[in-house]
């Protein structure tokens, strides 16, 4: 088990798009150490310079997609989610982007995906699936139907459901 001061934080950002209010997701690149090619939120592990979980989320968002604190209004937080595979807590924070942004993706991010809140709230788009993990144990995960060929699942899907 990792020490209690090890945690991750993510930022769930809403933004107005041509489809109305949307949530910003990132698709992780294939060069990252974990979760290659998966849809996630901007965020990551805390570092010694982070004074709290929110600072981690803001720093990671700036590093990954080039959105700085002044361009975001933090609107709240959600309950921490436990990562069963890596045994740490993920702190989700909610915010909204205040203006048009020229995103600057770093090497960890392949692309940005905007998914309309209306689509995410549609109960026909979310379901539970039983999967067998690497140890042969059955577990239930939350999954969304593909949106523009991208699948939101696992902890990211659980955070979406909690935030919405």
Domain at 37, CATH number: 3.90.79.10
Residue 16 belongs to domain spanning:
7-119
Q: Give the chain's domain count.
A: 1
Is 13 part of any domain?
Answer: yes
pLDDT surpasses 60 at 1: no
pLDDT surpasses 60 at 81: yes
Is 81 part of any domain?
Answer: yes
Is 107 part of any domain?
Answer: yes
pLDDT digits (tens, 9 = 90+) for 123-147: 999 999 998 888 898 989 999 999 9
Contacts 24+ apart (CB under 8 A), 43-47: 43/8, 43/9, 43/10, 43/11, 43/90, 44/8, 44/9, 44/10, 45/6, 45/7, 45/8, 46/5, 46/6, 46/7, 46/8, 46/9
Is 156 part of any domain?
Answer: no
pLDDT of residue 42: 97
**Which pair of tokens denotes residue 124?**
């026909």
- Dihedral, CA atoms, 26, 28, 29, 30, nearest 10 degrees? -160
pLDDT of residue 134: 81
Is 128 part of any domain?
Answer: no
Q: For residue 3, what pLDDT band results from cuts at 50, 70 and 90?
A: very low
């Amino acid at each position: 088990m990792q020490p209690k001061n090890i945690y991750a934080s993510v930022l769930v950002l809403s933004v107005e798009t041509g489809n109305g209010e949307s949530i910003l997701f990132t698709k992780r690149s294939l060069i990252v150490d974990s979760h290659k090619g998966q849809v996630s939120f901007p965020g990551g592990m805390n570092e010694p310079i982070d004074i709290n979980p929110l600072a981690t989320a803001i720093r990671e968002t700036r590093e990954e997609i080039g959105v700085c604190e002044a361009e975001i209004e933090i609107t709240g937080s959600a309950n921490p989610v436990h990562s069963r595979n890596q045994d740490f807590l993920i702190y989700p924070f909610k915010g909204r982007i205040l203006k048009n942004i020229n995103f600057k993706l770093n090497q960890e991010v392949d692309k940005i995906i905007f998914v309309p809140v209306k689509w995410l709230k549609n109960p026909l788009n979310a379901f539970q699936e039983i999967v067998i993990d690497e140890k042969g144990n059955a577990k239930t995960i939350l999954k969304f139907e593909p949106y523009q060929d991208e699948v939101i699942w696992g902890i990211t899907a659980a955070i979406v459901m909690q935030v919405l």
